[in-house]
Structure 1
Amino acid sequence: MTHLVLASASPARRKLLVAAGLEPSIVVSSVDEPAVTAAAQETYGELVAEDVALVLARAKAEDVADQIDDAVVIGCDSVLDLDGQIHGKPSSAAEAISRWSRMRGRSGVLHTGHWVVDTRAEADGGTGATLGATASTTVHFAKLTDDEIEAYVATGEPLRVAGAFTLDGLGGPFVTGIEGDPSNVVGLSLPLLRELLSELGLAWHDLRTSAHRGAQGRRDT
């Protein structure tokens, strides 16, 4: 069985993988996101939103991979590009309200960086590979009233997610449409992850079968 490790505390990302038949372990990285972004900008110059998401996804995956042997580690990070400005999680309710006041009735692009690191031994099919890519989905937002924005922010949900909204949670009624992969907006593009894993020689159906067998074994004991 291939041990998959998700380097993220996001319950939405884990739920996506479980619903698709995989059962990853969870190991949260200790990456300092502002410091990683600043270091990348110093090295490469100004970063666009897609690059920020990928740099952070790689940092998280490699941080956890340094701690875990014999596994395939998956790191992700999402940011919202609105008029060329990069937005992660709001730092306060006031910031979330201000952001939604600009987002309502408009469109942004949600970028999710994905990075996988293979720490499996060569004898177990390991490749030692570290690779990634970014998926991007355009999101159209409803024309919310001030009262709707304040009530949504008061739930606390916008403070816990990149872009200050969800597609699969309380923010769902405020997204009028998307262009692209819906799972990417939730936080992890299943089609893109499938492609990255295939580059490691891992077929999704084999991983799904292994996860099913592992779950069956736990039920049988």
Structure 2
Amino acid sequence: MTSLVLASASPARRRLLVAAGLEPSIVVSGVDESAVTAAARETYGELVAEDVALLLARAKAEDVADQIDDAVIIGCDSVLDLDGAIHGKPSSAAEAVSRWRQMRGRSGILHTGHWVVDTRDEDHGGTGATLGATASTTVHFAKLTDDEIDAYVETGEPLRVAGAFTLDGLGAPYVSSIEGDPSNVVGISLPLLRELLMELGLAWHDLRSSAHRGAQGAHVERA
């Protein structure tokens, strides 16, 4: 079995992968995101949101790849583009409240950068490849009242996630609709990751854990 390593502390990303049949190990990178983006801006000039997401995903994947041999490392990073302004995790409750007062009744684009590094030995099918791409999903936010915003921020959830909202948690009632891949908003685009892994010669069905393989064909009914 190919060893998959997720270079992220995000429980939501891990849950997505596990639900889709993969069992990644978790190794959190030590990347200083502010330093990486500052250095890139000094070299290349101003960056758009897609560039920031991909830059940080690559930095995280490559940082962990330097520590892990004979594995496929997956790095991700998400940012919200609201009228051209790039937003990651709010630094305080006050910032989260301010952010939501800007977002309510409007739309933003959630960009998630994905980067994959193959450190497997050649004898194990390794390619030595390092590649990535960004997935983007438009998110339409509900028209929240001030009381709703304050109550949501008090839960602490908006402080832990890029864009100050979730699609799979307490923030779900405050997202009116999306255009694009929902898994991307949760934190990792499963269709895009499938394509990147295929570039390494890895088929998703071959990576599924034995427990999930045994469950193939099981019938699930939804009331």
TM over 0.5: yes
**Structure with more of its chain in helix, by fraction:** 1
In 2, distance between residues paired with 1:121 and 1:135?
A: 29
Query: Which amino acid is the alignment partner of residue 210 of structure 2?
Result: H
Map 1:57-76; keep pairs closer than 5 Å: 57-76=57-76
Match of 1:212 in 2: 210
Query: Which amino acid is the alignment partner of residue 28 of structure 1?
Result: V
What CA deviation, in whole Å up to 9, does each residue of 1:152-199 have, x standing for no partner?
000000000000000000000000000000000000000000000000
What CA deviation, in whole Å up to 9, does each residue of 1:191-215 have, x standing for no partner?
000000000000000001xx22699
TM-score (norm 1): 0.95
Structure 1 residues without counterparts, runs of 5 or longer: 217-221
Using the TM superposition, give the Cα deviation of residue 124 of structure 1 relative to its aligned residue in structure 2, in angstroms. Answer: 0.6
TM-score (norm 2): 0.94
Match of 2:126 in 1: 126
In 2, distance between residues paired with 1:212 and 1:64?
A: 26
Match of 2:104 in 1: 104
1:193 aligned onto 2:158 = no
SS in 1 for 2:81: strand
In 2, distance between residues paired with 1:215 and 1:66?
A: 31
Query: Which amino acid is the alignment partner of residue 152 of structure 1?
Result: Y
Match of 2:217 in 1: none
Structure 2 residues without counterparts, runs of 5 or longer: 215-223
Query: Which amino acid is the alignment partner of residue 161 of structure 1?
Result: V
Q: Percent identity?
A: 86
Q: Is the 8 A contact 2:157 2:170 kept in 1?
A: yes
Match of 1:3 in 2: 3
In 2, distance between residues paired with 1:27 and 1:125?
A: 22
Using the TM superposition, give the Cα deviation of residue 45 of structure 1 relative to its aligned residue in structure 2, in angstroms. Answer: 1.2
What CA deviation, in whole Å up to 9, does each residue of 1:61-100 have, x standing for no partner?
0000000000000000000000000000000000000000
Query: Which amino acid is the alignment partner of residue 134 of structure 1?
Result: T
In 2, distance between residues paired with 1:213 and 1:39?
A: 44
Map 1:125-204; keep pairs closer than 5 Å: 125-204=125-204
In 1, distance between residues paired with 2:161 and 2:183?
A: 14
What CA deviation, in whole Å up to 9, does each residue of 1:8-63 have, x standing for no partner?
00000000000000000000000000000011111211100000000000000000
SS in 2 for 1:133: strand
Q: Is the 8 A contact 2:21 2:212 kept in 1?
A: no
In 2, distance between residues paired with 1:129 and 1:214?
A: 27
Q: CA RMSD in A?
A: 1.2
Match of 2:84 in 1: 84
1:19 aligned onto 2:24 = no
Match of 2:40 in 1: 40
SS in 2 for 1:68: coil
In 2, distance between residues paired with 1:176 and 1:86?
A: 21
